[in-house]
Amino acid sequence: MDVAADLRARLAESLVAARVLRDPRWVEAFRQVPRHVFLPGFFVQRPDGAWAPVTAEHPDHLALVYRDEVRVTQLDNDDRAWQQALATGAVPGVPTSSSSMPTIMAIMLEALAVAPGDRVLEIGTGTGYNAALLCHALGEERVTSIDVDPGVLARAEARLTAAGHHPTCVAGDGALGYPSRAPYDRVLGTCAVSRVPVPWLEQTAPGGLIVTTLNRPVGAGLVRLTVRDGRATGRVLVEDGRFMPLRAHRQAWAEEALSAALTAEPTTSRTTLLSSRTALDPASPFEFFAGLALAEVAVAGDPVRLAHADGSWVRHRGAVVDQGGPRALWDLVEDAYRQWRALGRPRRHQFTFTATPTSQHFALDGTTLTWPLP
């Protein structure tokens, strides 16, 4: 019995049952492409927050590979963390490369709405597994994949070769795209971007699609955009999607600011009727709208904290909020909550997104309201 093939079939069936996988091409790709080839080793997080290594020798390796879960493959942009984890059993760190949750991969591949002959540019090669799915469905000559980390890319190329696929793989800044093989009928961002990069607009064929997630710590946003005349317009999808940000789009200031908010002396301290879960839990219907008021805000928990690069911060403790800095961020959240209720509690799929070379914004259906990206 081929255990891996059986696990692949079960994974594909679960994605079909969840109605995130419909196109027979993608169903067959998930059934045939061996995810374990791309994940010979990965990290799992322990209850204490440290990351432990799982190798192919682990008795549950295949079962863990074929679960519908993200698998972290790099910490802190440093491959040495893997060797250290093998030596010590576990290491601290922040994930910087992974194999995404198969459900999210399926949602985004379906959103591409590919037609025979389409050329696809994938931003963020990662393990190479998603590129292999693209190759299986479209043919390797139609797939270009780019990653900023040469080491990550080299491993992905080797594993793609082992799986029998040879797409065009490029080491470089994904925000710049890859003009040498443009135009592309589809651009797929498997990492989150703070703004849709202008080169993506320029390198997408007229009528082509961009599918990506936006780097919004609150609200996120999986968007599908049609490009015409250098302008991309489309919708925020009902399905949520959250990815590691493109390296250049990370909030380098956030960790220090959120740490400072743990003990900072507040300018104001008061009670609030709005729970942090209502505003910040991805399962909350208000969270997307809250993110419109909290543009570029970073979030951490235990206790819940918000911070902005301008020095504004919030510490939410049950029914009490402490605030400091030039802006009262929680006041903005409460104002947004009242506006959201007055607008009929719109959900994420009721918003459109527009990107041009000079500006980008969200808009709400049936209104003239817009929210520009900073």
Residues with a catalytic annotation lie at: 100
199-208 LR contacts (CB < 8 Å, sep 24+): 199/175, 200/123, 200/232, 201/227, 201/230, 201/231, 201/232, 201/355, 201/356, 201/357, 202/177, 202/230, 203/121, 203/177, 203/178, 203/179, 204/232, 208/183, 208/184
Distance CA 86, CA 326 (A): 46
**φ, ψ at 148 (rounded to 5°):** -75, -20
What residues contact 259, with CB distance under 8 A and at least 6 apart? none
Q: Which helix (H) or strand (E) holds 31?
A: helix 24-32
What residues contact 53, with CB distance under 8 A and at least 6 apart? 41, 42, 43, 82, 85, 86, 90
| 3-state secondary structure at position 30 | helix
Distance CA 14, CA 79 (A): 33
Within 10 Å of residue 335's Cβ, how many Cβ atoms?
12
- Judge whether 98 and 244 are in contact, CB under 8 Å: yes
- Judge whether 96 and 77 are in contact, CB under 8 Å: yes
Q: Kind of pairing, strands 268-271 and 41-45?
A: unpaired
Q: In what order do the strands lie in the sheet with 120-123?
A: 168-171, 143-147, 120-123, 184-189, 204-213, 222-228, 231-236, 351-355, 360-364, 370-372
Helix 150-162 vs helix 129-138: crossing angle, to nearest 10? 50
Residue type for 18, please?
A
Q: Which residue has the tokens 């918003």?
A: 351
